[in-house]
A and B are shown apart, each in its own frame.
Chain A
Amino acid sequence: MTTESQKQTDAEVVAAVLKGDQELYGELVKRYQGRLVNYLCRLLRSVQEAEDLAQEVFFKLYKALDRYDPKYKFSTWLFRVAQNAAIDRIRKRRLQLVSMDRTGDPDAGMGTWEFASSDPSPYGDLRNLERGQAIQAVIERLPWDYRELIVLRHFGELSYDEIAKLKEMPLGTVKNKLFRGRQMMKDELRDFLTD
């Protein structure tokens, strides 16, 4: 991908792809793949599943690219499609689990969450595992509307404006919910913040 294409806005890249430069779509994928996979990861609790779904989302957007309205941000469109896809996936997963074990917890057997450890010592691995599980557990305990915004802000890396447009919420509500959500997280993760 050239430096020239990296300077183009998302809308310009979309226009170029629609004119026939299919390879340029890779630039859009590169721009958003990390944010999208991390966002989906936190909703689906699986890196593998998040990557698979992110790939599906990019494919779906490519097929619908001629209907992209440049009045809106590409990121807002991308995350809206991803959000709907993730909710569909979670629903299907729950239906499968409930049909397998009607008495069990729908989230049972989903596995544990683990950070990639930068500390090679066994203590470091354990600490990363604890942190990863703690963050994921706290995120999952948040009410759904707070959880969505926290994940969009911290893992999807969307701005307040982008979140407000995506969720069709007033900007003040977004700020307020993020403030409250992070306060809840901060209180619950106090042990990990002080050292």
Chain B
Amino acid sequence: MNTQTPDHSMYREWLYLELDGALNGGQRSQLRQHLVSCSECQKEQRDLIALDELMVSSRVDVRSDFTAAVMSSLPTASWESRNPKSWGAAVAVVLLLAIGSGFLIATSGDTLGSVLPLAAAFSAVAEMLRSSILAGAGLLGASWKGLGLAFQEVLSGSIWNLLAVGILVVAVDVLLVRLLARRASPAREANRPQRQK
């Protein structure tokens, strides 16, 4: 805002700024002093207030079910995002169990079962988990090996086999790129630069 001594045209601008609450205290008191003696600015102020009231009175009311309509159109949040704390608790329990089991595995002996039945139970659970992990790893290894063999079979075949695999890979890539582009589009829209009409 200009710091020079305000003239009449500046007071007129200040009338608009005052209406929008954009004048500082000093400017406001200067304007009030000026208004006491300036009938032209008094008239301008009355007109401005009337214009503002006219525009306020022309605002429309939003229909009463608008919020509900918006909320019902939103995609439902997944369980884990609606209950993040529940997931945290579950993860904490599993971690605790894993740490306890690990400790028991490390310290367990043949005689432990007869000494501490509860500890033996934990140890058994831990052994079961370890067996499951080993079995899963074995299955995964076998699957990868099988997949590798299948690919080897296909790729070492005719040129047509190679071509078919190539087309399949390109198609999957295009599909992925399109899905990623669709996912990113709301952000692009939101950050799109403003345009002039």
B77 interface residue (CB < 8 Å to A): yes
B47 interface residue (CB < 8 Å to A): yes
Give the total of B residues in contact with A, Cβ under 8 Å: 44
Main secondary structure of the interface of A (DSSP, over half): helix
A175 & B71 in contact (Cβ 8 Å cutoff): no
Contact residues in A for B16 (Cβ distance below 8 Å): 175, 178-179, 182
A71 interface residue (CB < 8 Å to B): no
A64 & B189 in contact (Cβ 8 Å cutoff): yes
A105 interface residue (CB < 8 Å to B): no
B106 interface residue (CB < 8 Å to A): no
Q: Which one, B55, B57, B67, B187, contacts A67 given CB within 8 A?
A: B187
Interface string of A36-58 (1 = CB under 8 A from B): 01100100000100110011001
Interface string of B27-58 (1 = CB under 8 A from A): 00000000000000000000110111011111
Nearest to A160 among chain B residues (CB) is B22
Min CB gap A121→B, angstroms:
16
B59 & A38 in contact (Cβ 8 Å cutoff): yes
Interface string of A4-45 (1 = CB under 8 A from B): 000000000000000111110110011001100110010000
Number of A-B contacts (CB under 8 A): 131
A87 & B197 in contact (Cβ 8 Å cutoff): yes
B186 interface residue (CB < 8 Å to A): yes
The B96-110 residues at the A interface (CB cut-off 8 A) are: none
Min CB gap A105→B, angstroms:
16
Contact residues in A for B186 (Cβ distance below 8 Å): 60, 63-64, 67
Nearest to B16 among chain A residues (CB) is A179
Q: Which one, B17, B82, B195, contacts A84 given CB within 8 A?
A: B195
If the complex has contacts A38-B59, A115-B57, are A193 and B47 also in contact, measured as CB distance less than 8 A? yes
Min CB gap B86→A, angstroms:
10
Contact residues in B for A155 (Cβ distance below 8 Å): 55, 59
B167 interface residue (CB < 8 Å to A): no
The A76-119 residues at the B interface (CB cut-off 8 A) are: 77, 80-81, 83-84, 87, 90, 115-116, 118
A189 & B54 in contact (Cβ 8 Å cutoff): yes
Cα A51 to Cα B63 with chains together (Å): 8
A168 & B194 in contact (Cβ 8 Å cutoff): yes
Give the total of A residues in contact with B, Cβ under 8 Å: 61
A186 interface residue (CB < 8 Å to B): yes
B81 interface residue (CB < 8 Å to A): yes
Contact residues in A for B62 (Cβ distance below 8 Å): 33-34, 37, 51
B170 interface residue (CB < 8 Å to A): no
Contact residues in B for A144 (Cβ distance below 8 Å): 196-197
B67 & A26 in contact (Cβ 8 Å cutoff): yes
B70 interface residue (CB < 8 Å to A): yes
Min CB gap A2→B, angstroms:
15
B77 & A20 in contact (Cβ 8 Å cutoff): yes
Min CB gap A75→B, angstroms:
13
In this complex, which of B57, B70, B197 has the most chain A Cβ atoms within 10 angstroms of its Cβ?
B70
A25 & B187 in contact (Cβ 8 Å cutoff): no
